[in-house]
Amino acid sequence: MSELCHDCGQYPAEGCRQWCPNYTPPVIYQNTTPRARTTDPATSHYAADALNTESVSATKERILEAYGAHGPMTDEELCLRLAVIYDRPVSVSSIRTRRSELVVAGLVFDTGETRPTCTGRQAIVWSRDHA
């Protein structure tokens, strides 16, 4: 077995910790099959199995279109907007995950602003335009 990483104390082959400069994500999420963690409940595995890359890509396109047409929004506002546009319920979890992937891809940005959610807590306002 290789030596322990001097930065985080883990074996690099087994995965350094996220804050470690030697860290490499164990799974690359772009262009891969959706999956659940082994520690996730069975429902998460069923959901991952039900997803396909076409539906994920379509959801991302819808999100980008919504930002383009309606401007900056919180995740909650985005979900409400998509539900109205497509006249059907949307999964808040799925939308938040797809928006997060768009942030990682550099297509959606944190505006630096927040707005209150329906519960009164502050939420980040996201946009297609770089702040």
**pLDDT tens digits, one per residue of 68-82:** 999 999 999 999 999
Instruction: Give the integer Cα–Cα distance in Å for 68 and 107.
Output: 11
Longest dimension (CA), the chain: 56
Among 1.10.10.60, 3.10.20.30, 1.10.10.10, 3.40.50.2000, name the CATH number for the domain at 53-127.
1.10.10.10
Angle at 45 (CA atoms; ends 43, 47), nearest 5 degrees: 70
Say if pTM beats, i.e. exceeds, 0.85. Answer: no
Where do the structural domains in the chain lie, given as residue ranges? 53-127
Burial class (CB in 10 A: 0-12, 13-18, 19+), 75: middle
DSSP code string of 12-80? GGG---TTSTT---SS--TTS-----TTS-HHHHHHHHH--HHHHHHHHHHHHHHHHHH--B-HHHHHH
pLDDT band at 58; cut points 50, 70, 90: confident
Quick check: 60 and 106 in contact, CB under 8 A? no
